[in-house]
Amino acid sequence: MSADLRRATATQLRAGYRSGEFTSVEVVETLLAAIAREDAALGAWLHLRGDEVRREAAAADVTYAATRTAGAAALNALPPLLGVPVALKDLVNMIGTPTTAGSKILEGYISPYDATIAAKLKAAGALILGKTNMDEFAMGSSTEFSAYRRTVNPWDRERVPGGSSGGSASAVAALHAPLSIGSDTGGSIRQPASLTGITGMKPTYGRVSRYGIVAFASSLDQIGPFARSAQDAALLLHTIAGSDPRDATSSATPVDAALLKLPQGDQAASALKGKRFALPKEYFVAGMEPGVEAAVRAAVAALQSAGAVIDEVSLPTTEHALATYYIVAPAEASANLARYDGIRYGASKHGGGDLLDGYLATRGRGFGPEVRRRIMLGTYALSAGFYDAYYLKAQKVRTLIARDFDRIWAAGYDAIVAPASPSVAWKFGAKMSDPVAMYLADACTIPTNMAGLPGLSTPCGLSEGLPVGLQLIGAPWSEAGLLSIAAGYEALSANAPWRDQDPTDLAALGGAA
């Protein structure tokens, strides 16, 4: 029973709560027990709301029990995620909980307000299980830059979960939560989803409010869902999406109701017939692991067998995306992180010498090496005399990258299919001494952020026993379409042996368990 509750999707949990098959308290206790047993080894969590969640689950169960007697219509009117546990990446502010963004500079900081998505999740009845580990300020691709702890990949304890949303990805992959929230500035949802074998989506820029999300790079950051199915990801996205009067960059485009009516099974598979997919040759970069390429091409072949049309296309600006990203993102970050000055909150080293000494000590000791590196990069790129050559030029290239994608949509393609990561999960430390090698891990995901487009990673097999993700990239606001395609691919591959396989090291995480 408890093993099944761990594996249950959010959709299955909702159904079970409504029918009375099991309770939210049982689910929460199962997950908390697994976390207690395994997280010392997994390292996914930075903060748990154990006692609060137990109380909230009990309250949800009372509501379900009371409503069940009132009939199906009343049950349907309940908040969509009532009693469903969700994990938050530790850059989502939630009133009364610590928010560290994985940084020592925010050690001990307790959020005095709710991010818009935290408020939306609460209103939807979700139980916020806790906050998950991440690369400091979302800067990294392995979660190794967390100032707090190492998060391992449940498929191999010697390997990284990807990043920066590694905690949220590993928590869902290791069956510690059915759903989690991540943020994706250059691939930080899709790449860890790929490396841990789950579904992760970065929505269109402006689809989900950024109010209350600790900023990395404002023009690139988007919040999105992790889940173990496309249907669950769509359910979570529907809950958090929408325009927000507190985020001037959020879009007024209505949230697509199709997110709640994703085709399933045969229906989803047959909907692939006649779909047109573009396969960009530039995404099969030099250095891509053969096993990854093989898994992605096999998935593409499966789509083709299901009646989809695949055309190889060219996105010639792809090779410039990484370089321009490493101008734009650090430039914005250098300003966004200026507020961590030790004056109002967080760790402070003021008081010894003069004001400058206080700044230098606070920021020099509070920020880790990767954050310091990017602040320096960004400060340099914005400096007088360099602005035109770097920042301004990068913005122009960004426009060209967006135009490359526009041509694909103008040609009538439903989506781009590509790898989400050039490699499977790597061993700890393998890229820590070489920043550029680490940056290249996001080569397949960064162009999407630069163009503001939606993208997802859905599992498409294993290479050397480790998960590989198929990336789907779509036109603006095509989230429901992309998730429908992912649901179709799930149906096509439902009988593949890797589909029902637990992460290899899951059992080992809890020792004897």
Partner 1 sequence: MSWEAVIGIEIHVQLRTATKMFCPCAIPAEGDAPNTRTCPTCLGLPGALPVPNRTAIERVLAVGAAIGAKSPATTRWDRKNYFYPDLPKGYQISQLDLPLAEHGSIPVTTSAGAGSVRIRRAHLEEDTARLRHEKGADGTRASLIDYNRSGVALLEIVTEPDIRDGETARRYAEELRLLLRTIGAADAEMENGQMRVEANISLRPSSDAPFGLRVEVKNMNSFRSVERAIAYEMARQAEVLDAGGTITQETRGWDEGSETTYTMRAKEDSHDYRYFPEPDLPPLDIDPAWLAAIVAGLPELPGTRRARYVSELGLTDYDASVLVAEPRAAALFEAARAAQKELDAKLLANWVSGEYLRVAKEGAADPDPVQFAALVAAVASKEINGTTAKALFAEMITTPLSIREVIASRGLGQISDTGALESIIADVIAANPQAIADWKAGKQQAVSFLVGQAMKASKGRGDAALLGDLIRAALDR
- By annotation, the residues acting in catalysis are 89, 164, 188
Which residue number, 76 or 383, has a Cβ lying nearer to partner 1?
383
**Residue 490 CB-half CA count within 13 A:** 24
Candidate residues 15, 74, 343, 411; the one interacting with partner 1 per rule CB under 8 A: 343
Rounded to 5°, angle at Cα 26 from 22 and 27: 90
> How many residues contact partner 1, by CB under 8 A?
45
Task: State the minimum distance, in angstroms, from the CB of residue 319 to partner 1.
Answer: 24
Closest CA to 9 of 314, 368, 221, 262: 262
Q: Which of 71, 344, 436, 497 binds partner 1 (CB under 8 A)?
A: 344
Q: Residue 133 and residue 84: Cα distance in Å, rounded?
A: 20
Closest CA to 397 of 464, 471, 450: 450
Please, are residues 455 and 231 in contact by the beta-carbon 8 Å criterion? no
Provide the angle, in degrees to the nearest 10, between the axes of the packed helices 24-42 and 10-19: 150
Nearer to partner 1 by Cβ, of 82 and 106: the residue is: 106
CB of 355 to partner 1, least distance (A): 7
Contacts (Cβ under 8 Å, ≥6 apart) of 30? 2, 5, 6
The pattern of x and - marking residues 74 through 93 that bind partner 1 according to CB under 8 A reads: -----------------xxx
- Of 126, 138, 215, 306, the residue at the interface with partner 1 (CB under 8 A) is 215
> Is residue 201 left, alpha or beta, with left meaning phi > 0 and alpha meaning psi from -120 to 50?
beta
Question: What length is written for the chain?
Answer: 513
Distance, CA of 207 to CA of 237 (rounded, Å): 9
Comparing CB distances to partner 1, the nearer of 218 and 504 is: 218
Which range, of 19-27, 34-42, 173-181, 336-344, touches partner 1 by CB under 8 A? 336-344
Can residue 253 be called a binding residue for partner 1 (CB under 8 A)? no
The only residue of 264, 270, 304, 379 in contact with partner 1, by rule CB under 8 A: 379
Query: Among 211, 277, 326, 405, which residue interacts with partner 1 (rule: CB under 8 A)?
Result: 211
Q: How far apart are CA 402 and CA 64, in angstroms?
A: 47
State yes or no: residue 134 binds partner 1 (CB under 8 A): no
Omega prior to 24 cis, within 30 of 0: no
Structure tokens at 430: 């393998």
The four Cα atoms 380, 382, 383, 388 give a dihedral, to 10 degrees, of 120
Tell me the closest approach of the beta carbon of residue 335 to partner 1, in angstroms.
5
CA dist 7 and 489 (Å) reads 20
Beta bridge partners of 130: 48, 87
Residue of 107, 110, 123, 246 interacting with partner 1 (CB under 8 A): 246
With CB under 8 A as the contact rule, the residue among 217, 302, 303, 475 that binds partner 1 is: 217
252 binds partner 1 (CB under 8 A): no
Shortest approach of partner 1 to residue 274 CB, angstroms? Answer: 37
**Interface residue with partner 1, options 99, 142, 222, 493 (CB under 8 A):** 99
**Contacting range for partner 1; rule: CB under 8 A; set: 213-221, 224-232, 467-475, 495-503:** 213-221
Amino acid identity of residue 357, one-letter, is: D
- Does 506 sit near partner 1 (CB under 8 A)? no
Smallest distance, partner 1 to C-beta of residue 382, A: 4
Q: How far is the CB of 214 from partner 1 (least distance, A)?
A: 4
Provide DSSP, 69-89. Answer: TT-HHHHHTS-TTTT-EEEEE
Cα 72–chain centre separation: 34
Applying CB under 8 A, which part among 48-56, 214-222, 266-274, 445-453 lies near partner 1? 214-222
- Asked if 27 interacts with partner 1 (CB under 8 A), we say no
d(CA 503, CA 294): 21
The least distance separating partner 1 from the CB of residue 103, rounded to whole angstroms, comes to 10
Alpha carbon dihedral 442, 496, 4, 199, in 10-degree steps, equals: 20
Q: CA-CA distance, 119 to 407, in Å (whole number)?
A: 38
Contacts of 69 (CB under 8 A, 6+ apart): none
What x/- string results for residues 102 through 121 when contact with partner 1 is judged by CB under 8 A?
A: ----x--x-xxx-x------
Q: x/- contact string, 138-177, with partner 1 (CB under 8 A)?
A: ----------------------------------------
**Residue 341 contacts partner 1 per CB under 8 A:** yes
Question: Residue 28 has which token pair?
Answer: 């929460």
386-425: contacts with partner 1 (CB under 8 A): 387, 391
> What are the residues binding partner 1 (CB under 8 A)?
91-93, 99, 101, 106, 109, 111-113, 115, 210-215, 217-219, 245-249, 331-332, 334-335, 337-341, 343-345, 355, 359, 379, 382-384, 387, 391
